[in-house]
Chain A
Amino acid sequence: MAAKIETETLTGDINIPSIQPGATAHYKSNPAKEDHNKFLGFPGARVENWREAAVEHMGELLGKYKSLRVFMDICVRCGSCADKCHYYIGTRDPNNMPVARQELMRKVYRKYFTPAGKLLPDSLTGASELTEAVMTEWYSYFHQCSQCRRCSVYCPYGIDTAEVSMAAREIMDHVGIGQKYCNEILGKVLKVGNNLGIEPHALKNTLEFVEEDVKEVTGADVRYPMDEKGADVLLVAPSADFFSTPHIEGFTGYGKVFHEAGVSWTVSSYASEFANFGMFIGNYDTMKKVAQRIRDAALDLGVKRIVVGECGHAWRVGYSFWNTLIGPFDFLDPKYPAPQHICEFTLDLIRRDGLKLDKSANDEFTVTFHDSCNVARGSRMGDMPGGQFEVPREIIKAVCNKYVEMDQNTIREFTYCCGGGGGLLTDELMDLRVKGVLPRANALKEVMDRHGVNTMAMICAICKAQFTKVLPNYGIPMETVASLHQLVSNAVVLGGKIGV
């Protein structure tokens, strides 16, 4: 590992820093290689006429996305969003203020798409040509946005920087300026079936390992099946659930819940990935292709229901976009006509008294819940607005005795991103990731000190990977990070109430 990253001492308070221009201008994601880009249909390297091509593509996107069209025109730079981004709070770089990040695109928009920008001097309009320097800024700062939408909550017009950074990445990809992390992973999911590139036989081994592990610990025969035609449920989990910690403990929990419900289920080796980085790069066709594998697998296996695992951005895609991208889901059981979140499945079972739970199994944990950004601000669970907050909390309270909330300005729709979302969970951005976790780390630190919290549960694979990696920089042990279904897994008494 490189030199230790300078971190602030956690105080438990979130302070808004003064600006420090250029503080993170040098952060740069590794560029995609030729074959990463080409596989997704982008030019292998930066094209000769990249300026003209980028401006032309921006024009196309302005015609295709109402969000971009409206957001480019109506920002008044009031600054309501300015102090809301975790990356601004952590890095102090003013270009990480959402409004300033948007302005990186808006100044180019003004130059090529507004009468004033075309006719008047740039010094009057604040317009700018798409120069080499501007493109360098774009590549750096549009890869310092985790698309968490926190800014959008506070904007008087709902301007969502995620929409702008997605458009910027799409424009860059279109002219051959791709980011390695996202584009390489998208290649893997489209070729192999998951982001980690796990081949079917390796996946099978993992599932058998989990099966044996559960047998050893509990003595129960809980199955973790793969590619079983005719199963009731297709489970689509983020592939990190098959290998990483604490992800796999959560995955173990899903299987126990299905086992207790008496529902047959299977994972698919063809669609062994719930994550969809197509959203991060703002490319509609890629996002659709990644999602299409799941529809195809569900049809191929002949399942009646689709249930998805703990993954934040993917639940946004699954809840908000799937029906548009790969719907209608008229082939599913009319009782469960839409793909469900595993939390909805589990809570439904708990409410019907279908799970025997021993809360004391979690007594060593004082738990808090981290709302993952895309779940909180881009999706829903259950019947009511805000179900995405209540459903996971109700589960935790059903399986744990000790539950504590973090500061109300840092949870629910006001939650802070983990600092690693949106296609930034890559080593070369470690400095940004460590700094970006600062507000969440402070909110967590406060309940650790005041209430003895030692466990932060969550339902997002990226959050889990990010927190376990960066929280130790602040002296918070990685074991603090837990999968929600890990707590469920601990509390389930197997064989308690099969088949309710």
Chain B
Amino acid sequence: MGGLSALSILFAAMFYAAAAALFFGFLSKIYQFAATPSPLKIPTAPAPTTALGAAGRVAGEVLFFTSLFKGNKWTWLGGYVFHVALALVLLRHLRYFLQPTPKLVELAGPPGVWAGIIMTAALVYLWIRRKAVDRAAYISLLADYFALGLIALIGVTGLVMKFVIRTDVAAVKSFIIGLVTFSPVEMPADPMFMLHLLLVMALMVYFPFSKLLHAGGVFFSPTRAQVDDCRERRHVNPWA
């Protein structure tokens, strides 16, 4: 790392620390979820009677938020739009990580920009919802606004770099590829990019210690993932 500015070294170090926190933090929680036993069969009935059916049920929750749709159409709308837009934004960002840029990622370029706008707007909508509905206001914690605000700020700083103070995309890409190939290079001297990256790193650290664990946890929810085969197969409680 000879010849790098102190600032670049600092950012590189922070990035590796944040990535490690996300990776090991998330992995340890997932391991904990997976390793905790299920003493009894508790799928919310009516439940699928085959493993394939149960996988389909979980897939429905993950891909379409089926239960939330049943519960509240307006929350579903905001939440679903946000998550789909986020997925597109992440896909678009792969262009900064992969050389050469794969075709699919290239295609995600223009819609990815729109998605950035929509994602940020959806976060504002979800924020307003929390304030406007008395039930939602009652249950909302600082952590809920923090997550919305943090991701919204990441969106805003990204959009600013796209539309207001354009950043040197080539320099950003070489910096990020340097990071992910463990051969860091000088980071672009663009305050907006630094801020964007700082916020992203904060999110990476925050992720495994927060409600954002729903991203992995949904796969382990016994009420959705379990198969209703209580009669056919004797479920054994490992600790009784």
Contacts and interface: CB of A to CB of B under 8 A. Distances in A.
Contacts of B228: 380, 385
A152 B79 CA distance: 18
Nearest to A100: B139
B183 interface: no
A158 B72 contact: no
A153 B70 contact: yes
Interface in B18-35: 29, 32-33
Interface string A250-269: 00000000000000000000
A65 B224 CA distance: 15
A267 to B, nearest CB: 23
A288 B61 CA distance: 33
B191 interface: no
Contacts of A79: 72, 75, 133, 135-136, 139
A154 B73 CA distance: 11
Contacts of B135: 19, 79, 82-83, 94, 97
A360 B48 CA distance: 38
B220 interface: yes
B29 A73 contact: yes
A155 interface: yes
Interface stretch (B3-11, B38-46, B106-114): B38-46
Interface residues on A, range: 35 or more
Contacts, number: 199
B209 A155 contact: no
A320 B40 contact: yes
B103 interface: no
A156 B218 contact: yes
Interface residues of B, number: 57
Interface in B52-109: 61, 65, 67-68, 70-72, 75, 79
B221 A84 contact: no
Contacts of A319: 230-231
- With a 10 A CB-CB cut-off, give which of B36, B49, B79, B240 has the most chain A CB atoms: B36
Contact of A157 (B49, B61, B136, B140): B61
Contacts of A378: 42, 44-45
A435 to B, nearest CB: 17
B46 A385 contact: yes
A97 B141 CA distance: 15
Contacts of B213: 73-74
B58 to A, nearest CB: 9
A343 to B, nearest CB: 15
A323 interface: yes
Contacts of B218: 74, 156-157
B181 interface: no
Interface string A27-66: 0000000000000000000000000000000000011111
Contacts of B142: 123-126
B221 A158 contact: yes
Given A74-B213, A124-B142, A152 B40 contact: no
Contacts of B136: 77, 79, 82
A272 interface: no
A99 B71 contact: no
Please give me the 5 A-B residue pairs with the lowest Cβ-Cβ distance, nearest first: A80-B71, A154-B71, A74-B217, A158-B223, A385-B46
Given A66-B38, A158-B224, A324-B240, 5 more contacts: A71-B221, A80-B72, A284-B240, A319-B231, A413-B45
Interface of A: 18-19, 21, 62-67, 69-71, 73-84, 94, 97, 99-100, 103, 114-116, 123-126, 149, 152-160, 163, 284, 288, 319-321, 323-324, 327-328, 337-338, 376-380, 384-386, 388-389, 413
17 contacts: A19-B135, A21-B138, A64-B37, A66-B38, A67-B222, A77-B211, A78-B75, A124-B142, A154-B68, A154-B70, A321-B230, A323-B231, A324-B237, A324-B240, A327-B234, A385-B46, A388-B45
